[in-house]
Amino acid sequence: MVTEEEILARLKPGCICKGIKLHRIIQAIENGATSFKQISQITGIGGGSCGSKRCGQKVAELLKYKENIELFAREEE
């Protein structure tokens, strides 16, 4: 079953200038990407008119979020 969060990520932009949806960035992170460069290579974000400022901020927030989730999970063990 697809969650509401997943549906929203499919609709929200990850890179407005190239029309790349947020869920592609999330997928790249879930598949192991750990840097903007890796995510850029996988998804194609970062080469548009924003010069990585807009999408770079989103990626930084998502990577930080994942890092915090993993840290929290380790502390729970």
Q: CB under 8 Å to 15, separation ≥6 — which residues?
A: 43, 44, 45, 46, 48, 50, 54, 55
DSSP 15: E
* Contact between 52 and ligand FES per CB under 6 A: yes
Q: Given the rule CB under 6 A, which of 3-11, 30-38, 45-53, 68-76 is the region that contacts ligand FES?
A: 45-53
**How near is the Cβ of 53 to ligand FES at its closest, in Å?**
7
Q: Given the complex with ligand FES, which of 61 and 70 has the nearer CB atom?
A: 61
Q: Could you tell me if residue 36 is left (phi over 0), alpha (psi between -120 and 50 degrees) or otherwise beta?
A: alpha
- Judged by the rule CB under 6 A, the positions of this chain that interact with ligand FES are 15-18, 45-48, 50, 52, 54-55
